[in-house]
Each structure stands twice: as structure tokens, then as C-alpha cells.
Structure 1
Amino acid sequence: MDNLIILAQDPAVWAALITLIAMEVVLGIDNLIFISILTNKLPPEHRSKSRMIGISLALIMRLVLLSFAAWIVKLTAPVFNAFGHDFSWKDMILIAGGLFLVWKATKEIHHSTDPVEQEDQKLDAKVTIGFGAAIFQIILLDIVFSVDSIITAVGMTEHLPVMVIAVLVAVATMMLAANPLANFIERNPTIVMLALGFLLMIGTTLIADGFGFHVPKGYIYAAMAFSALVEILNMLARNAKQRKG
């Protein structure tokens, strides 16, 4: 308890906490986009439940990983060398997660653009994914994003309470934003394609990171924000035309 009071009186700790919360929220956006797209393929009565389960699992994974922070740091140690690059467990997890994201986003884009499959979906109004399959895929991506999130947290501060608070705030923000974001994506088909494009970019970035080509996340999120702004302007223009018509 005394340690917490001492930490609370240190301005540097507060600065680290605010910075870490911002980083964790930004990292959580990737996780949330994937969860939103995936759960929108479930029956309406299961969507909100599956989102909460997916985000709750993300919280549990992050807290569990935080309790093994010293072990998590070792994931960055080289395991083997190939193509002139030392690969760690973190690199392999990022590459696997990136490949999964690229595969999933490509598959969803194909479903959205293939006229034959679109016609089949209209004739057969079945849900394209089961509840268990959705949760399993969410867990896979939760693992990847949780490892990335915790390694980022450990690199920014050595104080475990600061990391825990930042993770709790970030996950609480994800829970609040989950349903509104998913509903917004479902109401706007063009947003779905944009979000899938984001997933492709995030997956490619994870793979590049795993191979040692680090792309500053600021560039990635700036590009995402600019693309989202352009799409919002397009939506406003379409709505203005509809009102005039």
C-alpha cells in the first residue's frame, strides 16, 4: 500500500500511465476492428455476448501475461537465425498472427466481392460462422495482440500497478466502444471494406515486424485515420445527395 502511495505522488509515474493508456487504447483498436467484423457474421442475439466474451478474454490474457512479465520479456530473446535475422518467440507469434489476419481479411474481401457467393448468401440466409468458431478465432488474435500489448507496456514502465491500470482502462474502453463500432460497421457496407483493408495493413505490419522491419505505429494509425476521414466525407456527401433527391 505504501508503494502505491509513493507511486501516486510521482509525476513521472502519472506521465507514464497516461502515455501507456493512450498506447494500449490505440493497440486495442486493431483487436476491436477484428472482433466487430467477425461477430457481425453471427446471429443478432449472439453478437453482443460474443463481443463481451472476446474482450473479457483479452483482459484475462493481458492480466495473466502481466503476472509473468519477467517471462514475457524473454520472448524477445533470439531462438534461431534464418535469412540473416534472429527470430524470437515474439517474432514468430507476430508472423503467425499477421498471416492469420491477412488470410482472414483476404477471405472476407473475396466473399464481399464474389457475385456468385453474394447470390448464394441471398438465397441461403444462413449465418456464415458459428459461435464457437468466432470465439476461437477471437482467442487466437487476442493472444497475438495481448503479447504485443504487454511487451509494449513492459518496455514503457517497470511498475506493475501502472501496467494493470492501463490495461484495465484500455479494455474498459474497448467494451464501451464494441457495440457502437460493430453496429456502425454493419450499417455502412463501405466501412466494412475499409475495415478489412485496415486488417490487411495491420497483418502485413505484424509480419514485417516479425521479420525485423519495424514500421512506426504512428504512420499506420495516421494512415488509418486519414482513410477513415475520407470515408466519413464520402458518407456525408452520399447522405446530402439522398436528402436532395
Structure 2
Amino acid sequence: MQSILTLAADPAAWAALITLIVMEVVLGIDNLVFISILSNKLPPEQQAKARRLGIGLALIMRLALLSTIAFIVGLTAPVFELPWSGPMGENGHPVFELAFSWRDLILIAGGLFLVWKATTEVHHTMDPTPSHDVLDKKAPIAMNFGAAIVQILLLDIVFSIDSILTAVGMTDHLPIMVTAVIVAVGVMLVAATPLANFINNNPTVVMLALGFLLMIGATLIADGFGVHVPKGYIYAAMAFSGLVEGLNMASRSAQQRKAQAALEKSDSVP
């Protein structure tokens, strides 16, 4: 208790907490987009429950990982190394990382799963086969609730490990990590339903979100192979794409209002 009070009186601790909360919220966007897209495939009465359960599992997993920090840090230790006879980089080292840790393997597996899932969802979205689900753009593709939770849980594991390793790299104080994780997951919980509804009501946003997941999956795979893409570049690209899509949506809305006004004016002319 005394250590917590000491931290509360330390301005540097507050600065670390705010920085870590922002980082955790940003890192949680990937997790939230996946949960939103997957929950929209369920029947309407199960969607909110799936989102709450998925985010709740993410919180439990993060807190559980925080309680085993020594184990999590140990995941970055190499477990095996591959021989390399190919081209070398400018520094004389192999182009790819040849020593793989459990963290690398988890990131690669999670990235492959994310690429596969996003590609599958793109196929479902573009499938021209006529059916009652396809004709109704707002009707979710049937999915078993248990299968959705299992897929959410698998990605929760990947994103949770990445999140906790980020927290460990930014501060040594466990109370700060726990507080940041709880606040970030709370923000995810509040934003989950509005984000899911927004994605569901705008078909073009669905494709954009799936593109984000493809990019995130490829980034996870690259990270697992030791090719580190700065997260700032990824989120800047996502923000720019979101801005362009927002302008497109505003343009379509303006055109619809103009067309509606012209139609009403023509109807009013005797």
C-alpha cells in the first residue's frame, strides 16, 4: 500500500501511466476491430454478449499475463535457430531473424490466422452467389457462438502478449501496468458496440476494416521473423485510410441529400 501511495505522489509515475494508457488503447484497436467484425456475423441477440465476453476474456488474459511477468519476459528468449545460406543484409547479418522465441512463433501463428480470417471474410463479402444473407447486406453470415468466441480467444492471446510486452518495456511498476490495462480494456468495452454498429451499417467500412486486419496480420508475421515495422507507420496508414473513407462517406451523403432535395422539388412542381 505504501508503494502505491508513493507512486501516486510521483509525477513521473503519472506520466508513465498516461503514456501507457494511450499505448494500450492504440494497441487495443486491432483487437477491437477483429471482435467487432466477428461479432457482427452472429445473430443480433448474441452480438453484444459476444463482444462483452471477448473483451472480458482479453482483460482476464492480460491480468493473468501480468501476474507472470517473468514468464512473459522469458518468451522472448530464443528457443531454436535456423541455418541460413542466403543473402546477407548491409550489416553482414541474415535478412531475416533466424533465432525464434516463443513470442515470435505466437506472433507468426497469430498473423497467419489473422490473414486467413480476413481473406475469408473478404471472400464472403465479395461472393456474388445469391442467398438471403447476401441479398440483405445487414444480415450477418451465420456463425456458431462458440466458434466465434474461440476465434476471439485465439487473437486475444496474440494481442495480449504484444500488449503486456509493450507494458513491461515502458515501466517496471506493476500497479501502473494493471491500471493502464484496466483503463484501456474499459475504453474497448465502451467503444465496442458503437464501433461494431458503425462497421455493420457501412459496407465500405467493412472492407476497409478487413484491409486493416490483413495489414496487421502481415505486420505480426514480419515481426515474428525479426522485421520490425514501426507501429507509428501502421497506425498512421490506418488513420489516413479512415480519413479518406470519411471524406468519401461525407461526399456520398451530400450527393444523396442533393438528389433527395431535387426529387422533392420536382414532386412539388404542379
TM-score range, shorter chain: over 0.9
For 1:31, give the aligned amino acid. Answer: N
Q: CA deviation at 1:156?
A: 0.6
**Partner Cα distance (1:93, 1:80) in 2:** 14
Counting only pairs closer than 5 Å after superposition, residues 79-228 of structure 1 correspond to structure 2 as: 79-82=79-82, 84=84, 85-116=98-129, 118-119=130-131, 121-122=133-134, 127-228=141-242
For the residues of structure 1 that align with 2:140 and 2:38, how far apart are their CA atoms? 15
Match of 1:244 among 258, 261, 269: 258
Of residues 218, 231, 235 in structure 1, which corresponds to 2:249? 235
Q: Find the aligned partners of 1:156 and 1:143 in 2 and give their Cα distance.
A: 20
Cα distance, 1:7 vs structure 2: 0.8
- Higher helix content, 1 or 2: 1
d(CA) in 1 for partners of 2:105 and 2:252?
Answer: 44
1:127 to partner: Cα distance: 4.3
CA distance in 2, matches of 1:186, 1:123: 15
Deviation at 1:112, TM superposition (A): 1.0
Most deviating of 25-34 and 13-22: 13-22
Deviation string 1:66-92 (CA, Å, 9 cap, x unpaired) is 000111000000001125511000000
Segments of structure 1 that go 5 or more residues without pairing to the other structure are none
Alignment TM-score, normalising by the size of structure 2: 0.88
Partners of 1:122 and 1:26 lie apart in 2 by 33
CA-CA distance at 1:15 after TM superposition: 1.2
CA distance in 2, matches of 1:196, 1:82: 33
For the Cα contact (< 8 Å) 2:108–2:220, is it kept in 1? yes
SS in 1 for 2:221: helix
Based on CA coordinates, which of the two structures has the bigger radius of gyration?
2
Q: TM-score, length-normalised on structure 1?
A: 0.97
CA distance in 1, matches of 2:220, 2:18: 25
SS at match of 1:79: strand
8 A contact 2:24–2:181 mirrored in 1: yes
Structure 2: give runs of 5+ residues left out of the alignment: 85-97, 260-270
- 2-structure distance, mates of 1:151, 1:33: 21
Percent identity for Structure 1 against Structure 2: 71
Contact 2:41–2:140, Cα closer than 8 Å, also in 1: no
Partner secondary structure for residue 41 of structure 1 = coil
Q: What is the aligned residue count?
A: 244
Measured at CA, do residues 83 and 105 of structure 1 come closer, stay the same or move farther in structure 2, by a change above 3 Å?
farther
**2:268 alignment partner in structure 1:** none
Determine the structure 1 residue equivalent to 2:88. Answer: none
Post-superposition Cα deviations, 1:17-72, rounded to whole Å, max 9, x if no partner, equal 11110110001000000000000000000000110000000000000000001110
- TM-aligned CA deviation for residue 122 of structure 1: 4.0
Does the CA-based 8 Å contact 2:41-2:143 persist in structure 1? yes
SS at match of 1:242: helix
Report deviation, 1:119. 3.7
| Post-superposition offset of 1:121 | 3.4
Once the two structures are TM-superposed, the CA of residue 111 in structure 1 deviates from its matched residue by 1.1
